[in-house]
C-alpha cells in the first residue's frame, strides 16, 4: 500500500486528487494539507511514502515545503500544478532543485475530455515515484573533479544528452558550468511532461552562459547553443546538421525519446560525437548509446553515487554502451577538456 499526502491550497483540487488516487486499491491517501506548514506537521505524524505538492500556496509555498521535507523527512515529492507560464514562473523548476522528482499538470475537472488521461498519468507517476529511495543528498559535489582522460577516437562535433528522473537539475548543473565559448552544439532529451519543456528551457537559459532554446525543425545546430527536444516529438539530425522533429508514434510511451536522439547522432555524426546518459528510471537511451559507441563515439553515463535513479545508466553499462562512468563534475571537466583541444 502506497501512503500519500496531498498538499494543495485548493479544497476542490485536494478532493479531486484524493478521489483519483483512492480509486487505485494500492494507494491510500493518509492526509491532506492546505499549506506547507500543515504539510510539515502531517509529515511528522503520518510518514507518507509519496507527497503530491502544489507550488503556489499561501504561507510556506511548494518550494520551501519541499526543501524542508528533503531536509527532515526525505520522501518522493511529485509536483502537481496548473502553472504553465514559461517566462514568468520559475518556481516549479526551483522546486525540482529543492528535491522534487517529477512535475505533472493538475488534472482538469471531472467530465473534461482530458480528465481520464491526466488522472492515469497522476496514478502512474505516484506509483513510479514511490519506488524511488530518496536520501538527504546534495547535487553540489564537495570534492574537486578528478582528472579525466577522454577516450576519443576523433574530434567531436556535437554533444547529445539524455536524462529522466532526477535529470533536470543535473542537466542544469552541467550546462551552467560550460562557458559561452563552448564550441559544440548540445542536444538534450529530458523526460518531462511536454507542457513544461518550454518553461524548462527558459529556466536553463536563465542559469547558463550558453544559449538555450527548444529545438525547431530545420534549424542548423551550432556551438555555444543547447537545444531541448520539445514535447510530443522525437528530435534528431539530418545529414546537414539540421534538427529533424518527428511526431511520436501512436502509443509511444516516451516522446521525446533518448534512443531516437542517440541513434540519429550515431548515424549522422559517427565517431565525431559525445553521448551522455544521465540519471533516470527504465532503459531509454541505453540501446542508442550502445549504437553511438559502436560507431566510435565517446559515450558516458552518470555514476551511481550521484544518480537519483541508476536505471538508465546501469542498463547502458550492462549492454556495453558506456565507455566511461563519471560524476557530473567529472563530466563537466571532460567536456571542458575536449573544448580546450580546439582552442
H/E element holding 187?
strand 186-190
Please report the sign of the dihedral spanned by the C-alpha atoms of residue 319, residue 321, residue 325, residue 326: negative
- Alpha-carbon distance of 307 to 300, in angstroms, equals 13
Let me know if 146 is a catalytic residue.
no
Three cell numbers, residue 213: 532554446
Residue-wise DSSP of 263-320: HHHHHHHTTSEEEEE-S-SS-TTHHHHHHHHHTT-EEEEE-TTT-S--HHHHHHHHTT
Tell me which of 284, 306, 307, 327 is the catalytic residue.
284
Let me know if 164 is a catalytic residue.
yes
Tell me which of 9, 35, 49, 191 is the catalytic residue.
191
Checking DSSP bridges between strand 158-163 and strand 186-190, what pairing results, if any?
Answer: parallel
- Alpha-carbon distance of 19 to 24, in angstroms, equals 9
Among candidates 198, 15, 20, 13, which has minimal Cα distance to 92? 198
Q: Identify whether the C-beta of residue 208 lies closer than 8 Å to the C-beta of residue 176.
A: yes
Report, in this order, helix, strand and coil percent for the chain, each rounded to 5. 35, 20, 45
Among candidates 15, 58, 16, which has minimal Cα distance to 37? 58
Tell me which of 164, 264, 306, 307 is the catalytic residue.
164
Place of cell 476542490: 12
- Alpha-carbon distance of 95 to 84, in angstroms, equals 14
H/E element holding 52?
strand 50-53
Buried b (16+ CB within 10 A) or exposed e, 18-35: bebbeebeebebbbbbbb
How close are the terminal C-alpha atoms of the chain, in Å? 57
The catalytic residues are 164, 191, 284
Amino acid at each position: 500500500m502506497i501512503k500519500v499526502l496531498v498538499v494543495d491550497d485548493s479544497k476542490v483540487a485536494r478532493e479531486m486528487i484524493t478521489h483519483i488516487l483512492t480509486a487505485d486499491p494500492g494507494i491510500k491517501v493518509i492526509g491532506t494539507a492546505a499549506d506547507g506548514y500543515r504539510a510539515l506537521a502531517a509529515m511528522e505524524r503520518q510518514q507518507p511514502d509519496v507527497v503530491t505538492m502544489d507550488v503556489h500556496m499561501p504561507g510556506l509555498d511548494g518550494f520551501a515545503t519541499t526543501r524542508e521535507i528533503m531536509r527532515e523527512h526525505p520522501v518522493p515529492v511529485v509536483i502537481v500544478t496548473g502553472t504553465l507560464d514559461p517566462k514568468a514562473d520559475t518556481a516549479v523548476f526551483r522546486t525540482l532543485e529543492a528535491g522534487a522528482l517529477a512535475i505533472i499538470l493538475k488534472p482538469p475537472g471531472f467530465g473534461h475530455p482530458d480528465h481520464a488521461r491526466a488522472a492515469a498519468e497522476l496514478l502512474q507517476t505516484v506509483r513510479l515515484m514511490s519506488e524511488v529511495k530518496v536520501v538527504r543528498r546534495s547535487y553540489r559535489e564537495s570534492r574537486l573533479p578528478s582528472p579525466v582522460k577522454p577516450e576519443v577516437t576523433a574530434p567531436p562535433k556535437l554533444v547529445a544528452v539524455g536524462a529522466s528522473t532526477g535529470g533536470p537539475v543535473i542537466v542544469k548543473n552541467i550546462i551552467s558550468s560550460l562557458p559561452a565559448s563552448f564550441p559544440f552544439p548540445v542536444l538534450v532529451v529530458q523526460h518531462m511532461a511536454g507542457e513544461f519543456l518550454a518553461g524548462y528551457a527558459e529556466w536553463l537559459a536563465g542559469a547558463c552562459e550558453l544559449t538555450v532554446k527548444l529545438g525547431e525543425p530545420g534549424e542548423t545546430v551550432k556551438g555555444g547553443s543547447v537545444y531541448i527536444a520539445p514535447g510530443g516529438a522525437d528530435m534528431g539530425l539530418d545529414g546537414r546538421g539540421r534538427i529533424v522533429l518527428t511526431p511520436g508514434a501512436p502509443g509511444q510511451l516516451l516522446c521525446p525519446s533518448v534512443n531516437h536522439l542517440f541513434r540519429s547522432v550515431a548515424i549522422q555524426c559517427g565517431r565525431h560525437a559525445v553521448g551522455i546518459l544521465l540519471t533516470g528510471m527504465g532503459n531509454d537511451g541505453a540501446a542508442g548509446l550502445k549504437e553511438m559507441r559502436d560507431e566510435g563515439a565517446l559515450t558516458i553515463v552518470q555514476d551511481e553515487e550521484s544518480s537519483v535513479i541508476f536505471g538508465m545508466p546501469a542498463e547502458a553499462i550492462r549492454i556495453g554502451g558506456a565507455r566511461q562512468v563519471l560524476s557530473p563534475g567529472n563530466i563537466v571537466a571532460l567536456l571542458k577538456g575536449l573544448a580546450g583541444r580546439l582552442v
